[in-house]
Amino acid sequence: MKTRLIITGLAVSLLSLPWGCSSVDHRLGTERPAAPGPFVSAPEDSGTAPDASMLLTEYCPSSECPAGWTTCPDSRFPCDTNILADSRNCGGCGMACAEGNGTDGFICVEGACALQCSSGQFAAKDCDGIVDNGCESGKLDRNNCGACGVACPADMQCIWQDRLGGEVGCGCIPPKMACSDLCVDTSAHDNNCGSCNNVCNKTGPGQPPRPHAYYGCLQSECGHLKCEARWADCDGDEETGCETSTVTNDNCGGCGRACAAGQQCVLDSGGQAFCACPDDDLTFCQQAVSSGVPMGECVDVKSNVRHCGGCLVACTATTANNERAACDYGTCTVVCVDGNADCNGAASDGCEVDTKSDPHNCGGCGVACDLSIGQACVAGKCVVAPCDQLDAGEVTR
């Protein structure tokens, strides 16, 4: 007699029942829901008519593919191809989406190939909706400035608002001015002082030199004393110039910004001073030295794959199938990528099993579907469908 389940409710997912599944798969590192307990119908003597949502439905193992899944000529297992999301088989077997040109590409969305523009600081946009010309609108497109349909007025251009590769917008917000397609504050910009391309002479002709200082632009005029990078005028005395280093424990990033006990003032990857490391669980890993000041980052050496167990101890990527490097409590190891498992324990072939589709290992190693009828495994679940009522026979509740 076939194995059957009695399910209450009319709407039940065909993939929701873990036939023969164990409750925990330690190799995958994910906890799986326990198998459902017996389903109990309403008491016969309740005196109330059964609600339609409480009708009993029988479910049996099935070899039929659920909607959106199919078996293609190159399939390894039955029903292992999702034609709603697989770009190689989008909407049907062998119906591959076109490859991109480096700035745009195509992905499969609900069984149809859809244009996807690249992301990043110089990303383009598809504003005309014409697939053949791809993502035709550039970052500084004045007819689509920052977003499709945002057109700049005739007397404005689409320019960078703060820095190259940052936000874009039409024209500039005062007091900034457009200089070389970039909005700059000409009231304090040493290379665009008061107007574009007005470069200040840092030596300040006719003015005395000061320690760690130069003459630059303030209030739209050249000739004002300014501090060099990582130095500050903390005593307020122009004669001493910029006498204080801002990469010390007493003045980390600015005057009077002292680091707490046990911390050290260092530079991050962007050259900004900070007190390392505020969290006791973090370790400062030095990557370079700039003007005698360490540069680096605070990391958790218990889990960081680039600093595992200690600074600069990197866990290398593996070449075996479906594996990735990982740092587990300060020790380099490898783990299986999602949906794969190492079921034979052999390091040579990595995580050799696809637990999303393999009916012999459906959702985990050794979790077998009903192989006698060819029950399929889809998304890590053995497929079930309503039982054939003509052949239902006696049902055990």
Please write the tens of the pLDDT for every residue from 181-209.
Answer: 888 999 999 999 999 999 999 998 888 99
Residue-level length of the chain: 397
Q: Is residue 5 part of a domain?
A: yes
**In this structure, are 2 and 70 located in the same domain?**
yes
Q: Is residue 30 part of a domain?
A: yes
CA dihedral sign, ordered 380, 343, 29, 7: positive
Q: Is residue 102 part of a domain?
A: no
Number of other residues whose CB lies within 10 A of the CB of residue 96: 14
Greatest Cα-to-Cα distance within the chain, rounded to the nearest angstrom:
106
Give the model's pLDDT for residue 331.
95
Q: Tell me which residue of 66, 386, 384 sits closest to 395, measured CA to CA.
A: 386
Within 8 A by CB and 6+ apart from 354, the residues are: 76, 77, 80, 339, 340
User: Cβ(200)–Cβ(224) under 8 Å?
Assistant: no
Q: Could you give phi then psi for residue 264, rounded to 5 degrees?
A: -130, 140
Q: Is residue 392 part of a domain?
A: yes
Q: Is residue 322 part of a domain?
A: yes
**In this structure, are 342 and 391 located in the same domain?**
no
Q: Tell me which residue of 116, 23, 137, 69 sits closest to 383, measured CA to CA.
A: 69
**In this structure, are 374 and 344 located in the same domain?**
no
Question: pLDDT: is 214 or 52 the higher one?
Answer: 214
For the residues 89-98, what does the mean pLDDT come to? 93
pTM: 0.58
Q: Which domain holds residue 341?
A: 302-355
Give the model's pLDDT for residue 176.
86
Q: Is residue 14 part of a domain?
A: yes
**In this structure, are 62 and 2 located in the same domain?**
yes
Give the model's pLDDT for residue 338.
86
Element (H, E) at 57: strand 56-61
The count of structural domains within the chain is 2
**In this structure, are 376 and 326 located in the same domain?**
no
**In this structure, are 1 and 54 located in the same domain?**
yes
pLDDT above 50 (res 332): yes
